[in-house]
Amino acid sequence: MFDSTNSYVFAFCAFKHLKILGIPHVVSKDNRLERSTPNDVSYSFCLPKTLEQLDYHSNVKSYCTRRIANLTILNGSNLKVVNMANVTVRDCNGTIYGIENLEYLDMSGFDCRVLSEHLLSHFPKLITLIAQDATLGIGLNTLNNASEFLKINADLKHIDLMKNSIKSLPDGLFNHPFRQKLTIILDRNNFQSLPNFPSKPNTFQLISLKYNRISCLSEDDMAKLNIIKPSSIFLHGNPMECSCNTLAFLTWVQHSGLISDVDEIECISQNGTLVILSQFLQNLKTYEISCQSKLWITLASCISAFAILALLFGIIYYRYRFAFEYFFLRIKMKLRHYQPLSEEFIHDAFISYSHKDMTWVKILYDKLHSKGFSLCLYHKDFKVGKPIADCIVEAINSSRKIVFVITEDFLQSSWGTYEIEMTRMHAFREGRESMVVVILKDDIKKDKLPKALKEIWYKVVCIVWPTDPEVPYNSEEIFYEKLCIALSDSRSRINDDNIQLQMT
């Protein structure tokens, strides 16, 4: 072999009976950064016709200026073994011709970030492929069509892809009808789960995933392995987890019998200590019972917490239920594009009463109506088919005053309490605390009044219905006079404000 400007010329073609050739590879300088030259595109060299084994490996990682482009080997039809380990060829974007009977290829140490789908397409009899530390974690996932990479290599039996920083395998890489069961070594990569293998039986003999980042296998991974059924799986060196969260995986390991190195696998227990997986599996039934107990405790705690939160929410909602409902109704009205009147109201007053007092309320209505007041009543103004709660809030919004006719029947009515609460919410929100007028009948004392009414009592105008006409200043005529003054108060004030605005 002669060295001429970093080009190696093999001068062994003249050896007629040479079968094994071993050449220690030594490169005097690091040529990693050199640019490609035109002869990188296609080149060839000659070998003896009888050569069967070519050993060109280096004991330490070395670098070569060449890249695998279109490489043709002359007289290589008998070559079966090629070992080029640690000869770091700059990329693998090419095809090798002339050694179609090759059975063993060691390309460990190649820099295959750039990888051709047809790199191995002329090795139909390849049985063993070793490509350790060849940067295939990048190269394999840049293939446009990964199913083409091993398509022609149907005789493959042993594949070693150790130390390639592989996180996942591309779709279709092993989806071929291999003639023999595969042994695949994927140790010291970055897998966190089972690689993307095809779900077909009799494809793999052995799968080694030592020193990856697998804490457990998912249900899909376990289901796939139950179909593939390799003879052995090796997981030693992974950060396995032995806890209640991985109980399904641990049970599968115990019953499937597919994991061959359970005596060597260390796993992290629930309390953070390291235990041997085989020893842990011996007490798995007891551990499973403890996990179920913890599950019930956790479930009971969650249910208790939920019940407490629901109870607290229920108490808060019950305490402020009218406030919640009032704001929900306001939002609903806004969504329906309802716009409350800002300066004028449709009614002078909305009269809230018990339906049992309707006869007396009709007399009240006629008296006030004859004096020019516009009043809103349930039976007269509420729309049929519309929710009562919506009608109440709309009546409160559109009325200048709210008149509550407080009788014994009114205090027993749930709708009466509801209307008082809605009025209080509206008065607080709109700053209309003086909008409430109360008519007391049936000699009702203040301490019997609803709490919501007591809270705004300092702003309420209270007028008592006369029960003894003989008492001075306690007649129906004075009652109606007071009521008319109360209903006219805000109306006259608004009119006065309008006059002042027009004058200015």
What was the pLDDT predicted at 31? 41
State pLDDT tens for residues 295-306: 666 676 788 888
Backbone angles phi, psi at 7, to 5 degrees: -110, 125
Q: What is the DSSP letter of 465?
A: P
Q: Return all residues near 13 (Cβ < 8 A) that are at least 6 apart.
A: 46, 47, 48, 74, 75
- Buried (b) or exposed (e) across 209-236, using 16+ Cβ within 10 A? bbbbebbbbeeebbebbeebebeebbbb
* CA distances to 76, 118, 204, 205 from 208, in Å: 33, 26, 11, 10
What was the pLDDT predicted at 205? 95
Reply yes or no on whether the pLDDT at 487 is more than 50: yes
pTM of the model: 0.59
**Between residues 399 and 185, the one the model is more confident about:** 185
State pLDDT tens for residues 439-458: 888 888 878 888 878 877 87
Tokens of 241: 């987890």
| Percentage of the chain lying above the pLDDT 90 cut | 38
What was the pLDDT predicted at 104? 97
What was the pLDDT predicted at 498? 37
The neighbour count for residue 35, using CB atoms within 10 Å, is 6
What was the pLDDT predicted at 412? 86
State pLDDT tens for residues 52-111: 999 988 877 766 666 777 788 888 999 999 998 988 777 888 888 999 999 999 999 999
Q: Which of 353, 343, 352 is nearest to 402 (CA)?
A: 352
- Buried (b) or exposed (e) across 363-384, using 16+ Cβ within 10 A? ebbeebeeeebebbbbeebbee
Q: Return all residues near 349 (Cβ < 8 A) that are at least 6 apart.
A: 368, 373, 374, 375, 376, 399, 400, 401, 402, 403, 437, 487
Tokens of 6: 């970093």
Mean predicted lDDT score pLDDT of the chain:
82
Q: Which of 39, 30, 93 is nearest to 64 (CA)?
A: 30
d(CA 323, CA 172): 63
State pLDDT tens for residues 265-299: 999 988 889 999 999 999 898 888 888 766 666 67
Q: Are 444 and 453 in contact (CB under 8 A)?
A: no
Q: Which of 48-52, 351-355, 398-402, 446-450 has the lowest mean pLDDT?
A: 446-450
d(CA 241, CA 231): 23
Calculate mean pLDDT across residues 431-436. 75
Q: Are 95 and 118 in contact (CB under 8 A)?
A: yes
Confidence of residue 342 (pLDDT cuts 50, 70, 90): very low
Reply yes or no on whether the pLDDT at 210 is more than 50: yes
